[in-house]
Amino acid sequence: MASLAERQMLLTPLDNDGVWFRYHTLLADYLKRRLEADRGIEVPELHGRAAVWYASHELWTEAVQHAIAAGASDRAISWINNCAMALIKRGDLFTLLEWQRQFPDELMRGQPEVRLAIAWGLALALRFDEALQLATEIENDITATQLPESDLLCECQAIRSVAIALKDDSERALPLAQDCVNRSSDPWTANVASNVVRFGHLQAGDLKQFYATPWMPYSPEEDRRNVFASVYRRCLQGVAELRQMRLAAAEGHYREGLRIAEQYVGPHSVAAALPTSLLARIFYEQGQLDEAEALVIDRASLINSGTMLDCVRSAYFVMARAAAARINLERAHTLLERAENHGISRDWGRLTAAATAERVRLYLNEGRVDEAAACVDRLERLTQQYPAPRLCAWSEIQWDHKLAHAHLLGQRERPEEAMSILRELQRETEAAHHRYFLIRVEMRLSALQLRLGKATEATSRFRRVLAACADGGLYQIILDEAPITSELVQMVQQSGSLGAHLASYVDRLASDSQRARQDRLAPTVRVQALHALSPRETDILTLIAGGLSNKEIARSLYIGPETVKSHLKSVFTKLGVEKRAQAVSRAQTLGLVTTQ
């Protein structure tokens, strides 16, 4: 072992004592086959011995895995009790839920703590209905025992509030969570409930209460154990700052959440995917499209399967807008259709509405008015399906519909009707303290005023928009609307007396708007990429997009695996990426390979 480790062959030492090693997959598979062939009857016994050893060292996750492999169900379940909540608190939801799948309900019935942990896992893994059902069953069992278990009942209520909040029903979740914050003495339960309370106040536009919501500070050791609650808190704080157009503050919160997740759980965890997806939106708004896209490409499956609605929406927004900016509208529409379907499957009306509204914007920019009108009709049905008589998460569905409807009316030469809708929307977003959405409304109002011949008012309004965006750190939001804002940018540029900071910002916008207009007429980026890639490199990229490994590609093209690697290295360099998934996404965005 020492000789192999020293020569870095087939295994890697994990400590300085020569005790822990990570085996290369080939070596591990070989040793397992030898063990099964030579001593097959003893394999369960060896798993049992390994389970006991891990348990004696309080390495519960490994102990449970080996106990399951040994067929020792009772022992495995008793040990799950020792690590179940620890897994939840650090965001390792799927390990616990996979264990749950392997045991019948009867065995779990006598383990209330394990069942509570599973209920937490189901809620945080976005399996809302299952979480709510299990919480109700646990409550009924507690009530049937006629024992004073108020803490457990409070925990069940917190789980219910989390499931309802992650389902995006902020109004119904808020009072449940507030009661838990007031009653619970457990830091995990109280802080998770406080995150739900923050979410509810944020969606209700009550920033004062958002910032006043209490939080039980964790010690450094507790921070390590309660990763998920801490990361969610940072994400919500960042979302609140972005709404107020304070990008630097939002970025700071997301980076701190990412630091906690990577330090205590790892970069390829659900906990890390939460802030990463939101950080991508910041990069995008700052005009860093490549960096934004790279953040979400490799984590797309984690973001889709385990993060909250705002994270999923942010990821799809970045990828679709990046594709549209590179003039690959087919790719953009495909991504938005996926986002719509994801929203429908999760019952996330706000995600479905955001994706549908984006498609309205794309269709109208392409002159496809009938398709845009069909999307507006779908948005109207969503407003009926998710009513919002008071400010809540679902209010954004109403806003998306109104903004898209006004855009459509403007294209149909009905600017006065569009203006009426936008002024109503202006009042609503101001009342909700949602300055980010308000900026989008103000841009549309400026464009309509210009169309109605009110050039002075339009220029004055748009100048205020540009000043707010320059101060807040937003850039791409203006550039993306170049079809309606480029003339306004030029008018503000020519108006003079801008000040050095704003003048520099406007000059950059004017230059980039001109470049974007030229790209729409002649998509040079795609042409350059097509010319840069050789036919062989394009073939290999297409096969990678089809899911083939290097060996499979080599067999398919009758070349050696090392030749495939050499071509791939060249593809990465030409596309400016570092990984296979990034190369595929970039190629799809540029239209070099077909979007599946």
Task: Please tell me the distance from the alpha carbon of residue 392 to that of residue 387, in angstroms, as a whole number.
Answer: 10
C-alpha closest to that of 527 among 385, 236, 326: 326
Report residue 164's pLDDT band, with 50, 70 and 90 as the boundaries.
very high
Burial of 34 (0-12, 13-18, 19+ CB in 10 A): exposed
* Residue 13 phi, psi dihedral angles, 5° rounding: -70, 140
Q: Are strands 11-13 and 21-23 parallel, antiparallel or unpaired?
A: antiparallel
Task: Please tell me the distance from the alpha carbon of residue 461 to that of residue 419, in angstroms, as a whole number.
Answer: 14
How much is the average pLDDT of 488-507? 89
Higher pLDDT, 200 or 75: 200
**151: how many CB neighbours lie within 10 A of its CB?**
13
Counting every residue written for the chain, the total comes to: 596
pLDDT in tens, 79-108: 888 888 888 988 888 888 888 887 777 767
SS3 260: helix
Q: What pLDDT does 200 receive?
A: 98
Give yes or no for residue 270 having a pLDDT over 60. yes
How much is the average pLDDT of 216-245? 88
Give yes or no for residue 546 having a pLDDT over 80. no
Query: What percent of the chain stands above pLDDT 90?
Result: 53
Give yes or no for residue 149 having a pLDDT over 70. no
C-alpha closest to that of 201 among 166, 156, 236: 236
How much is the average pLDDT of 481-488? 87
- If DSSP states are collapsed to H, E and C, what string results for 332-354? HHHHHHHHHHHHHHHCCHHHHHH
Give yes or no for residue 421 having a pLDDT over 80. yes
Range in 31-40, 49-58, 88-97, 309-318 the model is least confident about:
31-40
Task: Please tell me the distance from the alpha carbon of residue 278 to that of residue 293, in angstroms, as a whole number.
Answer: 12
Q: How many CA atoms lie within 13 A of 12 on its CB side?
A: 4
* CA angle, residues 231, 208, 280, in degrees to nearest 5: 35
Q: What pLDDT does 133 receive?
A: 95
pLDDT in tens, 341-394: 999 999 999 999 999 999 999 999 999 999 999 999 999 999 999 999 999 999
Give yes or no for residue 243 having a pLDDT over 70. yes
Listed in sequence order, the residues at least 6 apart from 252 whose beta carbon sits closer than 8 Å to its beta carbon are 238
Q: Where are the alpha helices (DSSP H) in 206-348?
A: 207-212, 220-225, 227-243, 247-264, 270-285, 289-297, 300-306, 309-325, 329-346
Q: Which amino acid is present at 443?
A: M
Task: Please tell me the distance from the alpha carbon of residue 103 to that of residue 101, in angstroms, as a whole number.
Answer: 6
pLDDT in tens, 571-583: 888 777 777 877 8
Task: Please tell me the distance from the alpha carbon of residue 276 to that of residue 262, in angstroms, as a whole number.
Answer: 11
Q: Are 336 and 358 in contact (CB under 8 A)?
A: yes
In angstroms, the Cα distances linking 426 to 89, 110, 590 are 41, 55, 36
Q: What is the pTM of this model?
A: 0.83
Q: Are 307 and 94 in contact (CB under 8 A)?
A: no
Give yes or no for residue 521 having a pLDDT over 60. no
In sign, the C-alpha dihedral spanning 560, 564, 570, 573 is: negative
Averaged confidence pLDDT in the chain? 88
How much is the average pLDDT of 168-181? 96
Q: What pLDDT does 350 receive?
A: 98
Q: What pLDDT does 504 receive?
A: 92
Residues pairing with 23 in the sheet: 11
C-alpha closest to that of 269 among 132, 124, 102, 85: 124
Q: Which two tokens stand for residue 23?
A: 């085996």
Give yes or no for residue 1 having a pLDDT over 80. no
Give yes or no for residue 401 having a pLDDT over 80. yes
- If DSSP states are collapsed to H, E and C, what string results for 169-198? CHHHHHHHHHHHHHHCCCHHHHHHHHHHHH
Q: What pLDDT does 304 receive?
A: 92
In sign, the C-alpha dihedral spanning 374, 376, 377, 379 is: positive
Q: Are 480 and 321 in contact (CB under 8 A)?
A: yes
* Residue 398 phi, psi dihedral angles, 5° rounding: -60, -40
Q: Are 80 and 99 in contact (CB under 8 A)?
A: yes
How much is the average pLDDT of 166-171? 97
Q: What pLDDT does 98 receive?
A: 85
Q: Are 447 and 488 in contact (CB under 8 A)?
A: yes
Q: Which two tokens stand for residue 65?
A: 């895995």
Q: Quick one: residue 123, left, alpha or beta (phi over 0 = left, psi -120 to 50 = alpha)?
A: alpha
Highest mean pLDDT: which range of 38-42, 183-187, 386-390: 386-390
The DSSP H or E segment spanning 20 is none
Torsion of the alpha carbons at 407, 411, 413 and 417, rounded to the nearest 10: -10
Report residue 63's pLDDT band, with 50, 70 and 90 as the boundaries.
confident
Q: Which two tokens stand for residue 39?
A: 């001593």
Report residue 73's pLDDT band, with 50, 70 and 90 as the boundaries.
confident
Report residue 519's pLDDT band, with 50, 70 and 90 as the boundaries.
low
Task: Please tell me the distance from the alpha carbon of residue 209 to that of residue 203, in angstroms, as a whole number.
Answer: 11
In angstroms, the Cα distances linking 329 to 313, 316, 322, 438, 588 are 18, 14, 10, 26, 11
Listed in sequence order, the residues at least 6 apart from 39 whose beta carbon sits closer than 8 Å to its beta carbon are none
Range in 1-5, 136-140, 208-212, 458-462 the model is least confident about:
1-5
